[in-house]
């Protein structure tokens, strides 16, 4: 059973330097004291909180937010994660219901691909949904088309003015965990080792499977394409990349592919919330414990120990607490988390229906 202490997890630990230097001379002994020597402190981690509600003059109540998200640089030198949230990406129409979009992108080798996905993937998805809504949405086809188009826009294979080819797409890449929430269904498309988890009736239900090179079916696919998985500080494709699927990384093709695994889940009354996060969280915190922490926050039973007791959003509080918990458990990566409440009967946040 994991235990969480109700105090700040992330704190800057000062290193006090207090020394006394005494020197003697023939004529006089002079004592120098350094009691007031300036204290040196480590620089605090850079934290970026993504806006969770529309801006207003009055602060929203904790129960008014529909989601909460946070991105933290953590112990990395650079921030390569990106988060995108688009409520009402597709409005309800004659042929399909409305959908909200949530995505976490975990870049590697640089920020180019993750930022490009943040700026473009939801737009590609909206176009695909509108084009295919009348004949009926095949989410597997829609998501695969979007991811392939996104991959083509980056690096080698880009076409015309839409291409983002400056060479970065060859050596840079990004995972993509996309969650689309509708009134009756939850669609998850995953490419890489970011993850989405649903809390249903108090139980943690993984909505996606990580694409790791040592996953049996992924290893088989890589080897069938002529590649090899090498254990070099963990399993890596060709001894280089720690994920077996990503957008970008064109120098690693055909061993690393951009095709997502897409799954469609029917919503139930027991569905409480979804957590989407980069591996900076999942590498050090289990699915089960993540759901326990978020449940406590959404019910107002758990919060961070802050000077200001005002909680603007239970969902944001949950996302922030998970990021702090990951850092306290030794996460060495960027950490990005989105918490999406679904059901008012088990949560204090507004649902999507």
Domain ranges of the chain: 64-210+260-341
pLDDT at site 135: 84
Query: What CATH code is assigned to 64-210+260-341?
Result: 3.60.40.10
Q: Among 125-134, 295-304, 315-324, whose mean pLDDT is lowest?
A: 295-304
Quick one: 77 exposed, middle or buried, by C-beta within 10 A (0-12, 13-18, 19+)?
exposed
Residue 247 has pLDDT above 80, yes or no: yes
Residue 69 has pLDDT above 70, yes or no: yes
pLDDT at site 100: 95
**Residue of 15 and 313 predicted with greater confidence:** 313
Where helices occur in the chain by DSSP H, the ranges are 112-132, 139-153, 168-171, 216-224, 279-282, 287-298, 314-328
| Average pLDDT taken over every residue of the chain | 80
Angle between helices 287-298 and 314-328 (to 10 degrees): 140
**Residue of 321 and 97 predicted with greater confidence:** 321
**Per-residue pLDDT tens over the stretch 18-65:** 433 433 443 333 333 333 333 333 333 333 333 333 333 333 333 334
pLDDT band at 66 (very low <50, low <70, confident <90, very high): confident
**Per-residue pLDDT tens over the stretch 110-153:** 999 999 999 999 999 999 998 888 888 899 999 999 999 999 99
pLDDT at site 300: 79
**Per-residue pLDDT tens over the stretch 194-238:** 999 999 999 999 999 999 999 999 999 999 999 999 999 999 999
pLDDT at site 299: 87
């Amino acid at each position: 059973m994991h235990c969480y202490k109700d105090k700040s997890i992330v704190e800057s630990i000062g290193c006090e330097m207090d020394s006394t230097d005494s020197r003697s001379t023939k004529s006089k002994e002079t004592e120098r004291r350094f009691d007031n020597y300036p204290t040196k402190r480590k620089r605090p981690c850079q934290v970026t909180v993504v806006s969770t509600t529309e801006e207003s003059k009055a602060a929203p109540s904790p129960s008014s937010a529909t989601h909460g998200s946070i991105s933290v640089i953590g112990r990395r030198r650079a921030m390569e994660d990106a988060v995108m949230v688009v409520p009402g990406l597709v409005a309800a129409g004659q042929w399909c219901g409305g959908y909200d979009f949530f995505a976490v992108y975990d870049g590697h080798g640089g920020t180019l691909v993750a930022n490009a996905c943040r700026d473009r993937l939801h737009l590609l998805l909206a176009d695909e949904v509108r084009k295919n809504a009348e004949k009926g949405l095949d989410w597997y086809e829609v998501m695969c088309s979007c991811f392939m188009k996104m991959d083509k826009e980056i690096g080698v294979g880009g076409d015309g003015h839409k291409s983002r080819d400056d060479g970065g797409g060859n050596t840079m890449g990004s995972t993509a965990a996309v969650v689309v929430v509708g009134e009756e269904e939850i669609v998850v498309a995953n490419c890489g080792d970011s993850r989405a988890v649903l809390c249903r009736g108090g139980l943690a239900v993984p909505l996606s499977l990580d694409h790791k090179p040592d996953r049996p079916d992924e290893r088989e696919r890589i080897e069938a394409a002529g590649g090899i998985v090498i254990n070099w500080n963990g399993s890596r494709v060709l001894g280089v990349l720690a994920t077996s699927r990503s957008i970008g990384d064109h120098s690693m093709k055909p061993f690393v592919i951009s095709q997502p695994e897409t799954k469609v889940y029917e919503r139930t009354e027991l569905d409480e919330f979804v957590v989407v996060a980069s591996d900076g969280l999942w590498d050090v915190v289990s699915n089960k414990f993540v759901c326990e922490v978020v449940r406590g926050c959404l019910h107002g039973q758990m919060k961070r120990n802050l000077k200001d007791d005002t909680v603007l959003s239970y969902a944001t509080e949950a996302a922030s607490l998970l990021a702090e918990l990951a850092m306290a458990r030794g996460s060495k990566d960027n950490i990005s988390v989105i918490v999406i409440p679904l059901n008012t009967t088990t949560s204090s946040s507004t649902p999507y229906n």
